[in-house]
Structure formats: C-alpha cells, structure tokens
Amino acid sequence: MKRVVSDITKTAGIFILLFVPACLLAEDGYDLWLRYKIVNDAGRLAHYRQTVTGININAASPTLLAAKEELEKGLNGLLGKKLPEHNLLQNGSVMAVKAAASDIVSRVISKELLASSGKEGFIIRSAVVRNKRIIIITGNTDISVLYGVFHFLRILQTQQSLADLAIQSSPSLQLRLLNHWDNLDRHVERGYAGFSIWNWHTLPDYRDPRYKDYARANASVGINGVSLTNVNANAMVLTRPYLEKVAALAAIFRPYGIRVYLTARFSAPIEIGKLSTADPLNDSVQHWWSNKAKEIYSLIPDFGGFLVKANSEGQPGPQNYGRNHADGANLLADAVAPYQGIVMWRAFVYSQQSNDRFKQAYEEFKPLDGQFRKNVLVQVKNGPIDFQPREPFSPLFGAMEKTPLMMEFQLTQEYLGQGTHLVFEAPMFKEVLQADTYVKGKGATVAKVVDGSLYNHSLNGMAGVANIGNDINWTGHLFGQANWYTLGRLAWNYELSSEQIADEWIRQTFNNKAFLVSTVKKIMLSSHEAMVSYMTPLGLHHIMGNGHHYGPAPWSDNLPRPDWNPVYYHRADSAGIGFDRTSTGSNALAQYSAEVRHRYEDPGDCDEKYLLWFHHVSWKHIMKSGRTLWEELCYKYYSGVEQARLMQQQWNQLENDVDKERFEHLRMLLAIQVKEAIWWRNACLLYFQGFSKMPIPSAYEQPDKTLEYYKNLRFPYAPGN
C-alpha cells in the first residue's frame, strides 16, 4: 500500500511539473516582447493550428533567411509544434515572399496597393489561390517581408483572429533610430541598465549572439537605424581599428534592415588627423572628412551617416572658428553625400549669453533656416530645456520651413526616475506629437512637422536615446522595455494610441489574461502623470540633483553657471514661484505662433500643466480647482504619491498571473518608487514652504524628516552620470 501511494505521489508530482502553466515559469526578461510562448487559449490555439499548417518562403537573401528563421521560431513556439515547409501551395500555407518574386501576389494584390506600400511597407492578406486557403505576407522589398512577418507574429501573440486578414502598413517616418550614448570604455552616459552591450575589446572577431537578438528586437518594431556611440563623442571611433569593429556590427544588423550611424567629434581632424584646425571652411579639413567618409564606406557600404553634438556642453564645433551650425553640418554632409549618407545635427545648445536657456536653440538655428544641405536634418529634443518630465513642445518645431527637423525623445529615464521608476513614456510622446504649432493654422501639429508633410520635406525621422545595457533584461527596469517598444511603434505609426501600444506590449511580454492586461494597462497609462505630480507638478522643471540628476534638489545653487542650478528654473521667493517667460520676463513665448502665445500668456487662462513654465505666480493665486497655488502644489505632490501607491497595490494583485521572477522584480522596484515619490514630495514641499510661509494642510500625512535631512543626502556613485 505504501508503495502504491508512493508511486501515485511521484506520478502526481510529474503531472504537476508537466502542466505548470507556461506563463508562470520563471523568466528573466531577455526575450523582450518576442517570447513566442504557446497560445494558452484552447479555442484560439485550435483556430491558429487549423489556419496555419506550414510555411512557404524562399530564403533567397540574408533578410529573407532572417524572415524564415523568425517565422519558424515564432510559429513553432506559439502553436506548440514544428511546422513543415510547404514548397507548393497547400491549405494553411503562410507564404512570405517579395512581390516581384511571385506571380501569386499579382493575382491577389493590386499594383496600386503595392505602390502605396513603398520600400518598407508590408501587406498581409488572406487569399484563396488554386482552391487553397493561404496567408500571404508580402511587400516590394525583402525588408518589407521581414516587417510583415514580425507583424503577423504580433497578431498571434496578441491572440487576434486570422480570419479574412487584409492589412497594409507603411512607416510614417523614413528614419527610425536609436541613439546610444555608449562610450568606448563601455560606460553608458545616463545609462541605468549596466554597461554598453557593445564589447569593443572583443570585436570584430567575437560576435556576441546578443547583437543578433538586439537586431531582431529592433526590426520587430520597425527601427531601422542605430547610432552606436555617445553624442559626447570620442574621435577614436573613426580610426581604422574601430571602424572594422563597427563594420562587424553592421554586418550583423544588415539583414534586419538596420543601418549603423556614428557620432562625429567635430575636432577629429585635429585629434586623429594631425591637422592644426577643424575649421569647416578650411580646404584641408574638408579634404580630411571626404577621405574619412570614403574609408568608412569602403568598409560599410550602407553606412547611414553622422550624428553630431557641437558647441554644446563643452563639445567642439564650428563656432570655435567663428562659423555657424550650418557651416559645420554642411562640411560633413558634403563628405557623405556621394554615398547617400545623411547628417543629423543636434539642436541641443545653450550658452550663458542667453537670458533664458529655453530660447537658445531657436535663437541659434532659426536664422539658419534654408542654409543647410539637403541631406541634413536638425535633430531637436521634444522640449526646449532637456527631457523634463513634462515640457511644452520646442518652439523650433514649425519655425524652420526650409529645414527638416528630426524628433529626439529620451527612452533612458534621466529625469524620470532613472532605473527605479515605472514610467510609460507613450503618453508623454503623444502629448508632444499631437501639440498644435498653429504655424499654418489649426492642425499644424508637431507630428506633421516631424514627418515632413507640413513643409513638404521628404527626409524625416525620429530618434530615441536608448535605455539599453548589458543587464539580462536589456533595460534594467523591465518596464523600460515598453519605452523601447513605444519608440519603434510610434516612429512607424505615430497615430497609434498609448492604449494600443500598451496593450500590445503587455500581451506579448506577459500574457493575454484579461485581468492582467487591464490591470497592467491601468498602471502604465497612469504612470507618467503620477510621476509628474510627485516630481514636477504645475510646470516645475529641472529641480533634480545636480550632475547625477537623481532625486530632488530644488535648493541647489552651487554650480558656476546659473542655468545648471535648479533655483534658476523655479525662481521661488516670498512673492511666488515660477519662471516668467512672457513679455514681462524672458519673452520666450514670443518664439511660438500667436495662437500658442495666446494659450499661455495669461496666468488665469494658461493650461495649469504649464503654469510655472511660463509664469511667476503668487502663492495665493486661485487655481481652477478653487485652491490657492500653494494648496494645489500640495495636492499635486500628495496625489502623485497616492497614485504611486495605487500602482504598487495593483501590481501586487497579479502575483498569481505573472511568473515569480518578474513579479518580484516589479514588486521590489515599485516599493522603491513609492519610497522615492515620498522623498520627492517631502523634500520639495518643505523647501518651497520656506518661501510660501504656509502650512502643509493638516489632512495630509506630515513629513517625518526635516528639510536639512534631505539637503544633506549625497549620492556620489549614482549611476549614469
């Protein structure tokens, strides 16, 4: 009897091990949103297995081979069985083929639809051909087929129907880039996910398999370019040994439609070329850059071009020689033009000469409109200061009719809680893209500036400062992956809603359980507003710790330049708080169109999200809620903390719906986020209370530490500095 019980127990134990739901097995996050776990809905799985019985794809190029590998990997995982290759049409075939290589495509898809798809757009169509029910994934190029394969797998991962598919999708933007701020020593500036994934020491000979997985992830969301190195550039990356290393990465990325770009240090002709000058109008300098471009393209025929930070934060540039930004950009543009290369010249500039850092980029670049070569984009940060939790759109958007402007977002959360806060950035990005510049009347949105349609520019793009490192889950904080995903999806189609992007990412990253999807979506969609409330409500900005930008330090005023200090931005005094940017102050509002100025110039009518961006407001000013400004400030800080606590509570409800490893990862990080939200709230309100002379309302929990305690906190080894 004992033996029988023992055998039953063992058998039961085996049974339990075999039938643990796949979604609850421990995961480390490495697979990102490309997990391809078996579909856990029996009805949907049956539908997929009945509809898809095999793969028909002729891997005639490295890109089509990549498409075949991905389709096999994805379908075999999602359907839970290995699918055969169909060389002939059979019921249930998924045919992935470039349009020109198949007469079947011409029978099913019109020439007009193919023409409208362009070089990268794809078409997915259910069809009956020769009495066989098939699914066709096609496009005009090999890369369009690969993009279509990834989208088809996304449909299955998110458990949508495969009946009567009729999908056509083309990218909104031509250039869809990640900007890595990675140094050659593998330190990542503003990086919170470990060291750089580029191991320059072992390249070009050791090609880490992770590089291919990185390329797969980017291609899956349509990212087609990668700037490998920090904008605070090192000229050494342009030397032959490093170019050979870059060429090795380019070879891995090429099948996935990804071009490599490099940051060019403007003084490279001096530092590695042994010239005595880097003057852009000097013949020897021009000749040096022309030869350097020739060398690069001999190693990397599809090299994308250069990203440049110049005359900003100590970086050398054309102004060192009495020249302007157009002179500098055109020097490099002429060098790469014979190879169809481009130059992305960053507009992040500020000097002590301006009376408001807000105004600097406009003041330097607006007068140069029309002076840049055709293969130059001016890359503009979303806001006029520096990736703050909330900024009004940069006034440069819409101001340069003759120059294409490229959007620069920041995925790595330098000012958004760094590596410890869950902040889904899609709502912030959408807020900027949907903002109306009114430069050509209503509807002249920032998105239309960026895609080139407002002023008929064919060259256009969007970049995101990468949040990727060599941590096993790529981004340190698991939900940082959602921001990487968001960048690709919005650059492909900026009309996508934050809700749809979140929904896709959740279903692919976790599972399709209704309670989990709805709960995590609530967390994600509320996270940005919560963070703004407990960090920088009502238009406060740049009140983070100096240097490392970690934690609150609104009192900080010890750096040599005024605009490096938080006190420069909030200007709190006994009368009130905020930066007057109207005609009575710095007059930065004058850089916007009349309609935008009208929206913000009156403190009584100003959107309160931006009130302290544009106005110095009395502590007793009555807000739309009926509260005074001081009371509203308290309300916002406290509501932000409560929202962070709610996010924590919501996540803790999911313990049985998420694998233990990732559940614990988020549980611990959300506890840190709540702790740091309280830190922000208490430190800021105690400091500003010294000016308002008003109490924190007694209904709120009172700070349990003094202002001096918070002022004395030090973080000499905060990451990412």
- Asked whether the beta carbons of 720 and 191 are under 8 A apart, the reply is yes
Contact 198, 249 (CB under 8 A): yes
Spatial distance between the Cα atoms of 265 and 292, rounded to a whole number of angstroms: 13
Q: Can you tell me whether residue 446 is helix, strand or coil?
A: helix
Q: Which two tokens stand for residue 618?
A: 């009395």
Determine how many CB atoms are found less than 10 A away from the CB of residue 170.
17
Pairing of strands 259-263, 225-227: parallel
SS3 of residue 624 by DSSP = coil
686 burial type by CB count under 10 A (0-12 exposed, 13-18 middle, 19+ buried): buried
Token pair 């309100």: residue: 685
Scanning the structure block, which residue is given the tokens 């003094």?
A: 706
The CA distances from residue 208 to 38, 213, 214, 252, 255, in Å, are 28, 9, 10, 10, 16
SS3 of 209-269: the string is HHHHHHHHHHHHCCCCEEECCCCCCCHHHHCHHHHHHHHHHHHHHHHHCCEEEEECCCCHH
E strands, 105-206, where? 122-129, 132-139, 166-169, 175-179
Q: Is the peptide bond before 389 cis (omega within 30 degrees of 0)?
A: no
Please tell me the chain's helix, strand, coil percentages from 3-state DSSP, rounded to the nearest 5: 45, 10, 45
Paired tokens of 208? 């880490």
Q: SS3 string of 112-131?
A: HHHHHHCCCCEEEEEEEECC
Contacts of 369 (CB under 8 A, 6+ apart): 399, 400, 401, 402, 403
Give exposure, 27-36, as e/b (b: 16+ Cβ within 10 Å).
bebebbbbbb
Plot region of 682 (φ>0 → left; ψ -120 to 50 → alpha; else → beta): alpha
Residue with tokens 């008003």: 694
Strands (E), 45-183: 54-56, 93-98, 122-129, 132-139, 166-169, 175-179
- Using CA atoms, how far apart are residues 671 and 366, in angstroms rounded to an integer? 46
Pairwise CA distance, residues 325 & 292, whole Å: 20
Distances (CA, A) of 321 to 281, 282, 335: 9, 10, 19
Residue of 159, 184, 160, 144 whose CA lies nearest to 64:
144
> Dihedrals φ, ψ of 395, to 5°?
-65, -10
Catalytic positions are 313, 386, 414
